[in-house]
């Protein structure tokens, strides 16, 4: 109990939400707050979301155009590098075949020396072998690692192409050596019908080596295909050389074409295509769209992050403002209800006070007569020692006098309640005041076997307050506790001073308790849980009196476990 009281005392200077007791129900204010939040958030956030959407669209469009330029540039550089690689070797072969006679070339040692010199040159090297072939397709001389001298190529496609066009660069194929390679060949005409061909073989790996210098990023894929869509170099995505790919072969264009499409997995990719001049090769640069737009993703995430932070800040301000607005309305409604209640019932309370005072005075007059007559009768019996049944009559007279005394005490208490309609300060010892209040209820407690425990701290100070108003406060609370407990129940009253300048009175019962819904409205005027047996004014009046005395009142309750009312009073009342 002491811990909960201390918590309440620490919050005296900061009124909690329970103290807002509006005339309207809490659901009405919650609905109002939701409406204010929804309307304000719509006005504030919808333009922000529209602007963000427009910006995202425009930024994406601009960044997509900027994305195409580096891809196109890388593809063009790779195209030029490959064209230079092939053209340098074609030119070298053409020079040799035109510069040397057939007899000079058809010498194995001379052919090896020529190939060695060419491979030493960085610009025309990387030859696997070199062969001299006559017009019948027979390889007469050969320099290289294989035994291909005497092989006949008259049925090979490349042979017909060289015979027809004079020079030829082949697709990558396996041939007699069963290894991926390509052929560069040039023809020298001898007379009208005869000719011979100088043929160089290049490992297909050299094409891949050229592509590795294209400035690839992780996830990029650069490869060569022929006009039938067969891989001429390995691809990260589609596999090894001579594998068909699912991408469509683009139409011929002298420059670099960049376009987007969905691959076989349905993933968006950016494709740049360039035809290698004087060759059967098409250079393909393939990049995942999400990688190509990586900067766009960063910008998009930053914009969305800014939108999220802005939304959170705006909603925070709106929620705070709506809460302040509704709380101010709630407080205004509570004050209005309290003022109307005070005006409406101040006359009734005054009338009740005057009635109580009149009744007390009217009862006091016959009581005084009864007291005097009983006293006279006691004197007469006492003086006459021979009075018959003297002891019996004296006992009856004493009983009458005790009853008169008890009635006088009750009427004096009634006068004490009635005489202070306006607040008046006096020094009050709270334990004595509570004992007076319990004196009114002593007979009922005894009849119902209620156990009332009153405990006061040793260092409890006296307070300056209004006695009559405090009597009414505690009588109302204790009356409610009596109504809540069953016969044989317990009511504990504890008085303490947990903080300098404050005194707390905690009244706790083990009665039926109050539900959470009712607990929120317990101090509202005309609200009662007694189902027709109460007016709903007791706790409302009590709340108003405690506030008027400069104090606080708090309640805790659980259904079936009882209720606890804590009244916090200042030692010195201001005003």
Q: Chain-centre distance of CA 431, in angstroms?
A: 53
Per-residue pLDDT tens over the stretch 96-128: 998 888 888 888 888 999 988 888 886 676 789
Are 255 and 155 in the same domain?
A: no
Q: Which residue, among 202, 146, 203, has the nearest Cα to 177 in the 3D structure? A: 146
Residues 179 and 244 occupy one common structural domain:
no
Q: Are residues 554 and 574 in the same domain?
A: yes
Number of domains in the chain: 3
Looking from the CA of 99 toward its CB, the CA atoms found within 13 Å total: 7
Contact 41, 315 (CB under 8 A): yes
460 found inside a domain: yes
Q: What is the pLDDT of residue 413?
A: 57
- Position 228 scores a pLDDT of 92
Same domain, 202 and 220: no
163 is a domain residue: yes
Gap between the Cα atoms of 81 and 86, Å rounded: 9
For residue 154, what are the domain limits?
Answer: 100-207
Query: What per-residue confidence (pLDDT) applies to 22?
Result: 43
Answer yes or no: is 524 within a domain: yes
Q: Which pairing describes strands 502-509 and 490-499: parallel, antiparallel, or unpaired?
A: antiparallel
Which residues, including other chains, have CB under 8 Å from residue 172's CB and lie 6 or more apart? 180, 181, 182, 204, 207, 226, 232, 233, 241, 242
What is the value of pTM for the model shown? 0.47
Helix ranges, 139-219 (H): 157-165, 205-211
**Per-residue pLDDT at 233:** 92
In contact, 290 and 307? CB cutoff 8 Å: no
Shared domain for 549 and 430, answered yes or no, is: yes
| Sequence-separated (6 or more) residues with CB below 8 Å from residue 15 | 552
Give the end of a domain, one of 180, 207, 234. 207
Residue 150 and residue 284 in one domain = no
Same domain? For 196 and 282 the reply is: no
Residues 541 and 459 in one domain: yes
Is the residue at 558 inside a domain? yes
Residue 449: inside a domain: yes
Is there a single domain that holds both residue 183 and residue 257?
A: no
Q: Is the residue at 329 inside a domain? A: no
Q: Cα(445)–Cα(150) distance, rounded to whole angstroms?
A: 132
Instruction: Enter the tokens of residue 514.
Output: 């109050």
> Do 161 and 228 sit in the same domain of this protein?
no
3-state secondary structure of 568: strand
Residue 197 and residue 230 in one domain: no
pLDDT at 217: 64
Q: Are residues 143 and 194 in the same domain?
A: yes
b/e map 230-261, b = 16+ CB within 10 Å: bbbbbbebbeebeeebebeebeeeeebbbeee
Close Cβ partners of 334 (under 8 Å, ≥ 6 residues apart): 20, 21, 22, 23
The answer to whether 555 and 519 are in contact (CB under 8 A) is yes
Ranges of the chain with pLDDT below 70:
1-26, 122-123, 125, 214-219, 292-294, 341-357, 360, 409-410, 412-423, 524-538, 574-575
* SS3 state of residue 72: helix
Single residue among 257, 292, 327 that ends a domain in this structure: 292
DSSP assignment string, 41-65 = HHHHHHHHHHHHHHHHHHHHHHHHH
In this structure, is residue 477 part of a structural domain? yes
CATH number for the domain including 275? 3.30.450.20
What tokens were used for 545? Answer: 């009196």
Of 292, 307, 341, which closes a domain?
292
For 522-551, write each residue's pLDDT tens digit.
776 555 666 544 444 567 778 878 888 888
pLDDT for 15: 43
Residue 458 lies in a domain: yes
457: domain CATH number is 3.30.565.10
């Amino acid at each position: 109990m002491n811990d909960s009281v201390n918590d309440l005392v620490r919050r005296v200077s900061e009124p909690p939400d329970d103290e807002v007791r509006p005339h309207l129900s809490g659901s009405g204010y919650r609905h109002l707050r939701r409406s204010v939040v929804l309307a304000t958030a719509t006005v504030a956030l919808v333009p922000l979301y529209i602007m963000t959407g427009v910006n995202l669209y425009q930024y994406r469009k601009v960044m997509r155009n900027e994305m195409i330029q580096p891809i196109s540039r890388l593809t063009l550089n790779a195209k030029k590098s490959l064209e230079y690689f092939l053209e340098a070797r074609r030119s070298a072969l053409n020079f040799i075949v035109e510069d040397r006679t057939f007899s000079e070339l058809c010498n194995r040692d001379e052919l090896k020396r020529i190939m060695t010199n060419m491979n030493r040159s960085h610009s025309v090297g990387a030859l696997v072998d070199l062969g001299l072939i006559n017009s019948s397709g027979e390889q007469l001389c050969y320099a290289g690692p294989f035994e291909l001298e005497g092989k006949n190529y008259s049925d090979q496609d490349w042979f017909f192409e060289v015979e027809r066009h004079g020079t030829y660069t082949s697709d990558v194929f396996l041939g007699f050596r069963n290894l991926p390679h390509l052929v560069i060949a040039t023809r020298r005409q001898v007379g009208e019908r005869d000719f011979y061909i100088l043929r160089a073989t290049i490992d297909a790996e050299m094409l891949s080596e050229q592509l590795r210098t294209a400035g690839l990023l992780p996830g990029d894929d650069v490869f060569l295909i022929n006009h039938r869509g067969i891989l001429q170099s390995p691809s990260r995505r589609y596999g090894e050389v001579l594998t068909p790919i699912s991408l469509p072969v683009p139409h011929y264009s002298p420059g670099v074409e960049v376009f987007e499409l969905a691959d076989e997995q349905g993933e968006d990719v950016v494709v740049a295509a360039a035809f290698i001049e004087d060759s059967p090769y098409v250079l393909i640069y393939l990049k995942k769209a999400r990688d190509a737009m990586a900067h766009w993703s960063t910008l998009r995430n930053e914009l969305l992050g800014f939108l999220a932070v802005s939304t959170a800040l705006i909603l925070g301000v709106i929620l705070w403002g709506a809460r302040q607005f509704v709380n101010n309305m709630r407080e205004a409604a509570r004050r209005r209800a309290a003022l109307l209640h005070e005006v409406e019932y101040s006359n009734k309370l005054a009338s009740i006070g005057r009635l109580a005072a009149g009744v007390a005075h009217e009862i006091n007059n016959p009581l005084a007569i009864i007291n005097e007559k009983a006293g006279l009768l006691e004197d007469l019996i006492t003086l006459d020692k021979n009075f018959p049944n003297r002891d019996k009559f004296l006992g009856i007279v004493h009983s009458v006098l005790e009853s008169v005394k008890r009635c006088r005490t009750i009427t004096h208490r009634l006068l004490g309640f009635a005489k202070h309609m306006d607040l008046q300060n006096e020094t009050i010892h709270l334990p004595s005041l509570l004992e007076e209040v319990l004196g009114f209820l002593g007979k009922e407690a005894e009849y119902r076997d209620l156990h009332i425990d009153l405990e006061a701290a040793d260092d409890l100070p006296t307070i300056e307050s209004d006695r009559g108003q405090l009597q009414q406060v505690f009588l109302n609370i204790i009356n409610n506790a009596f109504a809540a407990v069953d016969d044989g129940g317990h009511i504990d009253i504890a008085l303490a001073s947990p903080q300098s300048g404050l005194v707390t009175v905690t009244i706790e019962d083990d009665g039926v308790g109050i539900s959470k819904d009712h607990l929120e409205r317990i101090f509202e005027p005309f609200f009662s849980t007694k189902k027709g047996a109460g007016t709903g004014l007791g706790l409302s009046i009590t709340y108003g009196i405690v506030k008027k005395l400069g104090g606080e009142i708090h309640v805790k309750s659980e259904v079936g476990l009882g209720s606890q009312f804590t009244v916090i009073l200042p030692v010195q009342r201001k005003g």
